[in-house]
Amino acid sequence: MAEVIDGKSVAEDVVRTVKTLTAELVAKGKAKPGLAVVIVGEDPASQVYVASKSRTAKECGFHSLQHTLPAETSEQALLKIIAELNADPAINGILVQLPVPAHIDAGKIIQAIAPQKDVDGFHFINVGKLGTGELDTAFVPCTPAGSMLLIERVRGKDLSGLNAVVVGRSNIVGKPMANLLLAANCTVTIAHSRTKDLPALARTADILVAAVGRPEMIKGDWVKPGATVIDVGINRIPAPEKGEGKSRLVGDVAYAEAAREAGAITPVPGGVGPMTIAMLMANTLASAYLAAGLKRPS
Ligand code: NDP
């Protein structure tokens, strides 16, 4: 049976370290890191995420600011708030919770965030830095950055000679994940909905990352014996066994069968999920260190 990679405990380690390094920054007479979270509209899932981000920021000792805006907020008004946050020296990280309402161009909003405060890592400058290996100053999107940390816990930092297959090519998970694995010297293949014979390709992977959004699509016999399996997917499916109308969370990997083949595997929930917020804190801390003229913590 595979080793279960405990993302919750790794995420707690990250938050603990961020808290310590925040205290050290403040002890040096520098301002505490500031994180501004902006949410437009009343999407319940987004509200839960935002509340959790603000709570963790406070736990880390950050200055935490939240803008909760009505769904009818105009693009212009949102751009104005971002410009103010860009200019505010007390703010090191700006996060606009996605999705935004349809009348707002999400791409335009992301590109309006100052790259040095883009702790989500979605601005073209940060995407370009990751793509060209400028990892000392890039902000890397939180979910793939967190997934990478979990891989490092199992395999170490240098992944030379290993084959990695990333299933999914989104800008927020698949592509940055592939770039991180490439930077760590993996031989990387990105698979997507047009890939031929995905099971055979998946079986070549020493590191298999699933970021698809399809419940339990990746089966046990797609997993190479001993592989490290990182399941990014979060899918809610009906769970009639728990009672009428009940549901449960599953990943993109059929966990029980994959765990019989894998060397190590992340569960859902409790794997990649908790890492995302932890890495947001780490990115905000890094931004504060850079703004204070200090080397960013590794
Ligand atoms: P997207 O929908 O943006 O991308 C999904 C990708 O999967 C696409 O590249 C798509 O291919 C590919 N795909 C879809 N169907 C298949 C298939 N049958 N075979 C092979 N590839 C397929 O999703 P995200 O990247 O945003 O998210 C992926 C998953 O990760 C979701 O479950 C999401 O909830 C979860 N997630 C979890 C986070 C966390 O904190 N743990 C954070 C972000 C996401 P194509 O490009 O060809 O359409």
Q: Phi and psi of 248, rounded to 5°?
A: -145, 165
B/e letters for 54-76, b = 16+ CB within 10 Å, e = fewer, are bebbeebbbbbbebebeeebebe
Taking the C-alpha atoms of residue 188 and residue 191, their distance in angstroms, rounded to an integer, is 10
pLDDT range class, residue 284, cuts 50, 70, 90? very high
Is 120 a known active-site residue?
yes
159 and 100 fall within a common domain: no
232 and 187 fall within a common domain: yes
**pLDDT digit string, tens, across residues 118-156:** 999 999 999 999 999 999 899 999 999 999 999 999 999
Residue 110 belongs to a domain: yes
101 and 181 fall within a common domain: no
Taking the C-alpha atoms of residue 296 and residue 298, their distance in angstroms, rounded to an integer, is 6
Q: Is 55 annotated as a binding residue?
A: no
Under 8 Å between Cβ of 210 and 167: yes
Q: CATH code at 212?
A: 3.40.50.720
**pLDDT digit string, tens, across residues 32-82:** 999 999 999 989 889 999 999 999 999 999 999 999 999 999 999 999 999
Residue for token digits 């830095």?
A: 129
Q: CATH code at 45?
A: 3.40.50.10860
156 and 106 fall within a common domain: no
Q: How many domains does the chain have?
A: 2
Residue 189 pLDDT: 98
**pLDDT digit string, tens, across residues 186-211:** 999 999 999 999 999 999 999 999 99
Q: Going by CA atoms, what residue is nearest to atom 47 of ligand 1?
A: 193
Taking the C-alpha atoms of residue 52 and residue 48, their distance in angstroms, rounded to an integer, is 6
| Given the residues 118, 120, 206, 231, the one annotated as active site | 120
Average pLDDT over residues 158-178: 97
pLDDT range class, residue 247, cuts 50, 70, 90? very high
**Residue 77, amino acid:** A
Residue 286 pLDDT: 97
Residue 1 belongs to a domain: no
Residue 298 pLDDT: 83
108 and 205 fall within a common domain: no
Pocket of ligand 1 (CB under 6 A): 143, 167-170, 172-174, 191-195, 198, 211-214, 232-235, 272-273, 276
50 and 157 fall within a common domain: no
99 and 157 fall within a common domain: no
What the block records as the tokens of 127 is 């995407």
110 and 146 fall within a common domain: no
Residue 158 belongs to a domain: yes
Is 108 a known active-site residue?
no
Q: Is 16 annotated as a binding residue?
A: no
**Terminal CA-CA length for the chain:** 32
Q: Is 170 annotated as a binding residue?
A: yes
In the predicted model, is pLDDT for residue 93 greater than 90? yes
* pLDDT-above-90 percentage for the chain: 98
| H or E element at residue 129 | helix 124-131
Residue 26 pLDDT: 97
pLDDT range class, residue 183, cuts 50, 70, 90? very high
98 and 58 fall within a common domain: yes
Taking the C-alpha atoms of residue 265 and residue 253, their distance in angstroms, rounded to an integer, is 10
pLDDT range class, residue 216, cuts 50, 70, 90? very high
164 and 259 fall within a common domain: yes
pTM of the model: 0.97
The whole domain housing 219 covers 142-273
Q: Strand ranges (DSSP E) for the chain? A: 3-4, 34-40, 63-69, 93-96, 163-167, 187-191, 207-210, 228-231, 235-238, 247-250, 264-265
Average pLDDT over residues 217-244: 97
Average pLDDT over residues 155-165: 96
Residue 163 pLDDT: 98
170 and 92 fall within a common domain: no
Residue 99 belongs to a domain: yes
**Nearest to 293, CA basis, from 114, 134, 116:** 116
85 and 154 fall within a common domain: no
